[in-house]
């Protein structure tokens, strides 16, 4: 970077070069490299290998546990044993509440932001219920059980609300870091990941039967896009702008320009 032919792409001062050298020695991202997500993640992993390994182990354990639970639920539903749904939904709710607390801690969410995430989670559930009824009337899916007990329905709604609140916190951070591109990316990923997750869970548990064909898949994707877009809108409306967010986008050039100069350098 110091030998660039274009003057505007070189270090504008010795302090900038010294800052990059210090960050390189501390295994932090440097300005001479493109500021990509993969590069920052690589640096984070190199600085915190034990933390990344521990998180990976926890995620793998949760995935194995939830997969086993879903399979047990499938076997129980084949025997029409509804009582098995209560402890399993309670387990899902407990896991989602724990994840929400961890996300609130890691994102340093303040009370106003937590309130916005909670409201966004409730909005996600309400809109999702309306869309689910519409898709059910179209014959895209059906329940294998003739009816869902009210307590189980309420427990399931609480579980989804906690999960959606976590998504709201994560989406808020991504939007603050990457702007509207990050916001659009979250909506697009939800349109792919949401139907895939629902269809896999429905296949494993046999609680919901999905109608074959591309129409339910595309419709389900549009429903997820609408739900996540409304979730982001409610979160933004209540949480408000976070100009003091430490993870927000920073203008590195401006930060360099404000670096105090060393006398006699």
CA angle 209, 145, 99 (to 5 degrees): 75
Residue 41 lies in a domain: no
Q: Which helix (H) or strand (E) holds 209?
A: strand 208-210
pTM: 0.66
Q: How many domains does the chain have?
A: 1
Residue 159 lies in a domain: yes
> What tokens were used for 262?
């060393």
Instruction: Provide the domain limits for residue 153.
Output: 84-239
Per-residue pLDDT for 253 more than 50?
no
Mean pLDDT of the chain: 79
Residue 16 lies in a domain: no
Residue 24 lies in a domain: no
Residue 230 lies in a domain: yes
Residue 76 lies in a domain: no
Per-residue pLDDT for 50 more than 80?
yes
With a CB cutoff of 8 Å and minimum separation 6, the contacts of 158 are 93
Q: What is the mean pLDDT of residues 24-33?
A: 82
Per-residue pLDDT for 246 more than 60?
no
- In this structure, what DSSP letter does residue 235 have? H
């Amino acid at each position: 970077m110091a030998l660039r032919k274009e003057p505007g792409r070189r270090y504008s001062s010795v302090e900038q070069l010294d800052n990059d050298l210090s960050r390189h020695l501390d295994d932090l991202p440097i300005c001479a490299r493109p500021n990509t997500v993969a590069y920052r993640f690589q640096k984070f992993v190199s600085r915190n290998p034990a933390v990344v390994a521990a998180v990976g182990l926890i995620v793998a354990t949760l995935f194995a546990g939830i997969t086993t639970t879903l399979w047990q639920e499938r076997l129980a539903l084949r025997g029409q044993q509804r009582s098995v749904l209560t402890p399993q939904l309670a387990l899902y709710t407990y896991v989602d509440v724990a994840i929400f607390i961890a996300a609130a801690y890691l994102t340093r969410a303040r009370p106003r932001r937590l309130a916005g995430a909670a409201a966004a989670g409730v909005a996600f559930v309400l809109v999702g219920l309306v869309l689910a009824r519409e898709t059910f009337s179209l014959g895209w899916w059906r329940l294998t059980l003739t009816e869902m007990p009210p307590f189980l329905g309420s427990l399931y709604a609480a579980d989804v609300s906690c999960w959606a609140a976590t998504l709201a916190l994560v989406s808020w951070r991504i939007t603050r870091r990457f702007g509207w591109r990050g916001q659009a990316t979250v909506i697009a990923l939800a349109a792919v990941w949401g139907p895939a997750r629902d269809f896999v869970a429905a296949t494993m548990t046999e609680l919901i039967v999905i109608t074959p064909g591309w129409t339910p898949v595309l419709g389900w994707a549009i429903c997820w896009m609408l739900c996540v877009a409304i979730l982001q809108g409610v979160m933004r409306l209540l949480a408000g702008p976070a100009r003091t967010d430490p993870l927000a986008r920073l203008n590195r050039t401006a930060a360099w320009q404000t670096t105090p100069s060393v006398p006699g350098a």
